[in-house]
Structure 1
Amino acid sequence: MREVTASGQSVEEAVQSALEQLDTTRDQVEVDIVDEGKKGLLGVFGSKPAIVRVNVPADPVEDTRKYLQQIVENMGVTAEVTAAVTGNRVTYDVDGENVALIIGKRGQTLNAIQYLVHLAINKDLSEHYAVTVDAQGYRNRRKETLESLAYKMADKAKRLNKEVTLEPMPAFERKIIHHALQNNDQVTTSSEGLEPHRHIVIRP
């Protein structure tokens, strides 16, 4: 949150001074009148300036977008970060050059960045945002890959009549596997092990 205290011959003049210092507009701020001031004799003698405290409320979505933009730039990637909000879900999308650096092997770097962003946006909030960080549609491509893997490994478990263990993956990716096979009555799925090595086991 940015805040300034300003004074002027009137409340409006003090507010205008604060807006100029904050480089913003009246509809973007909260105004607290510290002292309404008073006009003196002939407008001069005994006059008292008006004092206001003006602040720009914190915008966690935008502040976190800037934080993510800084991470991207510090990684040497030329890209733009945009944010889309639906209810309590925020999706940040990274679009630009060399985004493969942001994604990493099997999305591991992107998942780590998403974890940091989740912590950053929710650190001072009582009601938490669910966060997704994407890079040029990687999440959809990864979802399709995981669904394909789920079907393939389910077939393998049925064919060999024994359990198949998948590689460790984060909870939101394991959820994709579970969901893909939830209506398959020939196999069952379970998550086993401890983070960060928690993995899915598919059993006939």
Structure 2
Amino acid sequence: MKQVTVTGQTVKEAIQTALGQLDASEDQVNVEVIDEGKKGVFGVFGSKPAIVKVTEIPDQSQSGDEYLREIAKQMGNPVDVDIEETEKEIHYNLTGEKIARLIGKRGQTLNALQYLTQLAVNRDTDRYKAVIVDAEGYRERRSETLKQLAERLAKKSVRLQKEVYLEPMPSYERKVIHTALQHNQNISTYSDGAEPNRRVVIKPE
């Protein structure tokens, strides 16, 4: 993360000088005005320069890309990373020879990678973005499995007339369960517990 402190006759002039040094545009930086300066008498006597501190905003998608490549390399599983980015979300799809190792049992390793990447992407910025890390279409396959699980456990809840607790899941997987059962009038769903052990509960009506 690049940062410069620059002086100028005016705040605007100092900012422009800083942008030139960083080779950046105004929407790519955060500006902190340390001193607005003072013109002085006749623009000379008693004048005081303006001082600004300009910090380059990290490229969030690039930060996540670099983090994923490095951590996969450290795990002995080099990957290629495809990125799709919207205003509120960054989606990374990993491909590689040993991709199953990065997915882990029931996606646990992939979920951990996603959590850590989200921290890396949103560090040093106030522009929060959600992060999804996928591996060769695993998320879609997992989603279908969760929908089938939801239907099966909903029937069990109705049959036994008791609440059924699912295993702890990350928020986007819980959302799949809630969405899959939202039109089932025989049951209701809610989430219970604190992260990372928060889980969906299916309750008969």
Same fold (TM over 0.5): yes
- The corresponding residue for 1:30 is 24
Give the Cα–Cα distance (whole angstroms) in 2 for the partners of residues 159 and 60 of structure 1.
48
Would you say how many aligned residue pairs link Structure 1 and Structure 2? 159
TM-score, normalising length from structure 1?
A: 0.71
8 Å Cα contact 1:29-1:56 kept in structure 2: no
Aligned residue runs from structure 1 range 97-112, under 5 A: 97-112=97-112
The alignment-based identity, stated in percent, is: 48
Residue by residue, what CA displacement relative to the aligned partner does 1:90-112 show, whole Å, maximum 9, x if unpaired? 00111011111111111111111
Q: Which amino acid aligns with 1:131?
A: V
| Matched AA of 1:29 | D
Equivalent in the alignment of 2:117: 117
Residue aligned with 2:186, SS: coil
When normalised by structure 2's length, the TM-score is 0.71
Q: How does 1:185-200 map to 2 (within 5 A)?
A: 185-200=185-200
Task: In structure 2, list runs of 5 or more residues that go unmatched.
Answer: 5-19, 26-54
CA distance in structure 2 between the partners assigned to 1:132 and 1:62 by the alignment: 14
In 2, distance between residues paired with 1:69 and 1:150? 34
In structure 2, the residue corresponding to 1:84 is in which secondary structure? strand
Is the 1:29–1:57 contact (alpha carbons within 8 Å) kept by the matching residues of 2?
no
Partner of 2:98, secondary structure, is: coil
- The equivalent residue for 1:84 is 84
Residue aligning to 1:174 = 174
Distance 1:128 1:162 in 2: 39
TM-superposed CA distance for 1:56, in Å, is 8.2
Instruction: Give the letter aligned to residue 184 of structure 1.
Output: N
Let me know the Cα RMSD of the aligned residues: 2.3
Cα drift, residue 57 of structure 1: 6.7
Q: How does 1:35-54 map to 2 (within 5 A)?
A: none
Question: Which protein is bigger by CA-based radius of gyration?
Answer: 1
For structure 1, the residue ranges without an aligned partner over 5 or more in a row are: 5-25, 32-54
For 2:102 and 2:178, locate their aligned partners in 1 and report how far apart those are by CA, in whole Å: 27
**How far is 1:180 from its partner?**
0.8
Q: Distance in 1 between matches of 2:174 and 2:112?
A: 16
Deviation at 1:58, TM superposition (A): 3.8
